[in-house]
Each structure stands twice: as structure tokens, then as C-alpha cells.
Amino acid sequence: MKVNTNSMSKIVVIGSSNTDLIAKVNEFPKVGETIKGISYLQVMGGKGANQAIAAHRLGGDVRFITSLGNDSNGLNTLEYFKQKGLIHHYLLWFIIHHRVWK
């Protein structure tokens, strides 16, 4: 399908972006119990991210404003956005500084 870029809607999404960590287990642990999971999956999500990707897939000229951490999850999310074709120049990066409080 060819998209007419002259008539594309300009859309700005300001919203959340996160990495969902999903563990599958046979049964829920009891209080204080540690159990072994069957499988583990990381999935990109967040209401804002999902809306931005959906609007982009429908042909919108999308700018997504969100914040990402300067960690492996943030870097993986940035790569995911690039793969999906979202323009990533509007992402805000949080650099985590470790402090010792006295």
C-alpha cells in the first residue's frame, strides 16, 4: 500500500514507554517462597508507545515524546522504536546518578 505523504496527519504522542517483564509459572508462590519460572519474556509496552506505533502503522506522521532510562531496557526500547520506524529525536533520556545519602 502506497501512502500519500502529503496528506499524512501530523500526530504528537506524549506518553509512557516501558518494558514489560513477564514470567510464566505453574502456580503463584506462597508468602516468602521462591519458585522457578517456566519461561520469561520481555515485551515493549506503555500506553503512549502503543498509541504512537499504532498511529504510525496507520500512516500518521508521528512524533513520540517519552523518557527512557540510560540502561539496557532504555537502549533496547530505543532500538525497538527505530525498527518500528518511529522518529526517535524526541526521546528524553534519564541518566541515573548514584548517590550516597548521609
pLDDT tens, N- to C-terminus, the chain (102 residues):
555 555 667 898 999 999 999 999 999 999 999 999 999 999 999 999 999 999 999 999 888 888 888 888 888 988 898 898 887 666 666 555 555 554
- Interaxial angle between packed helices 72-84 and 47-57, expressed in degrees from 0 to 180 and rounded to the nearest 10: 20
Per-residue CA distances from 96 to 12, 47, 49, 69, 74 (Å): 27, 23, 22, 7, 12
CA distance 22 to 87: 27
pTM for this one? Answer: 0.70
Q: Are 48 and 13 in contact (CB under 8 A)?
A: yes
